[in-house]
Chains A and B, each alone.
Chain A
Amino acid sequence: DTSLTEVNAFSPSVPISPSSMTNQYKFEDGPELRDLFITVDDPESHITAIETFITYRVVTKTTRSEFDSSEYEVRRRYQDFLWLKSKLEEAHPTLIIPPLPEKFIMKGMVERFSDEFIETRRKALHKFLNRIADHPTLTFNEDFKIFLTAQAWELSSHKKQGPGLLSRMGQTVRAVASSVRGAVKNRPEMFTEMNNYMEMFSQKINLLDKIAHRIYKEEREYFNEMKEYGPIHTLWSASEEELAESLKGIAGCIDRCCRATERRMAGLSEHLLPILHEYVLYTEILLGVLKRRDQIQGELDSKVDALANKKTEKDLFSEEIGKLEDKVERANNALKADWDRWKQNMQWDMRSTFTNVAENNLRYYEE
């Protein structure tokens, strides 16, 4: 399994928890160029008078000069991650910010503080930070650095600075307004294509997510029945003389098949399901990014229209328009570059995940 050894070979001296190793992600630059290593682990429950919440330990190891120290250990809760995400979106509206695991939804199956839920969330948070670390632009974001290094009280005070709730709300209102206006008229062909692609992709990835969950469920039911199947043969062997050995043999084989099935299921839930889920979330993010790009262009377009109507004050407008044109161009370029990068990553992720699924199944049948 070469892909696995690649990850292992370049694993730093940092003891990364075994479970994080299973989250294979691509090293953007050559592995030798990597200088920021982050792990998320050790969930802990905190109970106050008002609420109960979980914090996670975030360990950062780095050789970057802009960091004062080479090693940091902080505790963060889900709210903090939400904050980081919104800051990144603010600073880079047309970059693809990785998805966060969802807030707790009453899906009925998983309890809010169940081990399963916490572990799934932990892995997703780990992925989230590492995806940011891998991103050529986001990795140098100042809020990101503060998130990784600040003590709890430092982070609190930092959060209170910067554009307040109202300005954020204003942005949202404008975003909604622009989306209501519908497709931007001067949208370059490229971004229309991206939109169409994203709509289709979203459909397909959602279907795959459902299918994968369904397979997991069927495998679990199969496992439950198989658990009962083996012991019957053992029971039977007790009444037989000549057949006893053969029957006990079959019972033993069935039990081994059961264990193999368990491993197959674990493979699904550790690799395929989280990745598919991540990309389901990605589709929302990408559609959002495309909207924001449209919105930025919309600002330009409306100013251009306004200029066409007001022949006076041309100079003032042209300066503004110049700035907006720059903004649009930067946004477009950023998006295009990030899009290409995202697509490459997606391809890599899908290839490696599905290959992993195939290998899992091969291992299962071989056992």
Chain B
Amino acid sequence: MEDCLAKKMEITVSEAEKRTGRNAMNIQETYTAYLIETRAVESQSEGQCGPVESLWRRYSEFELLRNYLSVTYPHIVVPPLPEKRADFVWHKLSADNMDPDFVERRRIGLENFLLRVASHPVLCQDKIFYAFLMQEGGWKELVNETGFQLKADSRLKALNATFRVKNPDKRFTELKHYSDELQSVISHLLRVRARVADRLYGVYKVHGNYGRVFSEWSAIEKEMGDGLQSAGHHMDVYAASIDDILEEEEHYADQLKEYLFYAEALRAVCRKHELMQYDLEMAAQDLTSKKQQCEELATGTVRTFSLKGMTSKLFGQETPEQREAKIKVLEEQIQEGEEQLKSKNLEGRDFVKSAWADIERFKEQKNHDLKEALISYAVMQISMCKKGIQVWTNAKECFSKM
């Protein structure tokens, strides 16, 4: 990763701001803009940093960038964006896009996205990406000028359409299967985690009621009063502690979500390969049938049924000149077809090679990241228990003094 952008430049998404403006249909809307700050880093000296450059972008521009990258680099597992709408929420979390907590978590997610792209050996060199970071005005036009939308294969949008590939590459089939499993299991996990968080919140918060009642009760007790009062205080502390605990857990959930969306990106690469393979097979099939036609015309034998053949039999033979002309056309087509097939084959092999390289890179990254996430989750749980132990030790002392 010596050449990657992330090493040469500090990138942060440092702020988020609510804006109002008029959209393409001249309707007033509210949206959030994010401030991207970049600073060139001198590799040798510590203190020597370039000036901070900054510009504002909104979520839809990030989306445009990602679409561009997906189409332009179909063999790359392109890093995903943070979710468009809040999903997997538990009751305290708001599903509102304007909610400050959601905006904050999205800000972090967008920064993460930029860092991922900047540290990718291939993607970081893209000029449009660089312009996204550095050039505020006219960037949209620049992207559209690349004409990437034309390259986008609309068939990819039809997620469930199946293309009957005769010789599927087993590795890709397995990979696609894996990405489906990963998506399914992570989204199930996130759903249950949200419910668990909800319930945990309930347990902690109800203990807060103890605090209030203990305090009121202590007013009528002489000997028990002090113990009750201070125990009540600890119950309040206990009830309040859950807020921080669950906020930290949201961060873990976001890490899992990233890989939920990464699974989609992985699937997209498999899909593209599938389509490529399908096109290849179609082209080969087409070529074979044209060759056959040519042969038939040349030898005058009809091996395969064709309407043209029948009609010409019924309504009279063609002249030798006509036949010659047809054969010529076919021969040209065949030659074209053979060249196309050759280049498609080459394309396909290149795709598989570079895709597989990126997939290996992705696998390593995924294993590393998820392992770290799981470890940090365990650490969070331990910390939660330690806090619990502390509170209840204090409470126990107060109770024993009652």
**Footprint of B on A, CB under 8 Å?**
197, 200-201, 204, 207-208, 211, 214-215, 218-219, 221-222, 224-226, 228-229, 232-233, 235-236, 239, 242-243, 246-247, 250, 253, 347, 350-351, 354-355, 357-359, 361-362, 364-366
Contact = CB atoms under 8 A, between A and B. Distances in A.
B370 A253 contact: no
Interface string B192-203: 110110111011
B371 A355 contact: no
Given A358-B395, A358-B399, A362-B389, A215 B206 contact: yes
Interface of B: 178, 181-182, 185-186, 188-189, 192-193, 195-196, 198-200, 202-203, 206-207, 209-210, 213, 216-217, 219-220, 223-224, 227, 231, 367, 370-371, 374-375, 377-378, 381, 385-386, 388-389, 392-393, 395-396, 399-400, 402
Given A225-B199, A236-B185, A347-B224, A358 B396 contact: yes
B377 A250 contact: yes
Given A204-B213, A250-B374, A232 B389 contact: no
Nearest to B179: A239
B189 A233 contact: yes
A63 B220 CA distance: 41
A136 B210 CA distance: 34
Contact of A218 (B202, B231, B367, B386): B202
Contact of B192 (A215, A218, A229, A357): A229
A204 B185 contact: no
A232 B206 contact: no
10 contacts: A200-B220, A208-B210, A208-B217, A215-B206, A221-B202, A229-B189, A232-B192, A253-B381, A351-B227, A358-B399
A200 B182 CA distance: 58
A361 B388 contact: yes
Chief secondary structure at chain B's binding surface: helix
A351 B198 CA distance: 31
A319 B199 CA distance: 69
Contact of A225 (B192, B207, B231, B386): B192
A222 B202 contact: yes
Contact of A350 (B192, B367, B402): B402
Contact of A232 (B185, B223, B227, B378): B185
Given A208-B213, A211-B210, A362 B396 contact: yes
B377 A232 contact: no
Given A222-B203, A358-B395, A358-B396, A204 B217 contact: yes
A236 B185 CA distance: 6
Task: Enumerate the 5 nearest inter-chain pairs by beta-carbon distance, A residue then B residue, closest first.
Answer: A358-B396, A222-B199, A365-B388, A354-B399, A218-B202
- Name the residue among A208, A211, A233, A366 with the largest chain B CB count within 10 angstroms: A211
Nearest to A357: B399
B220 A247 contact: no
A127 B236 CA distance: 33
A215 B204 CA distance: 8
B192 A201 contact: no
Nearest to A222: B199
Contacts of A233: 189
Contacts of B223: 347
A221 B199 contact: yes
Given A229-B189, A355-B400, A365-B389, 6 more contacts: A200-B220, A232-B188, A236-B185, A351-B399, A358-B393, A362-B389
A235 B377 CA distance: 18
Contacts of B385: 365-366
A362 B392 contact: yes
B370 A243 contact: yes
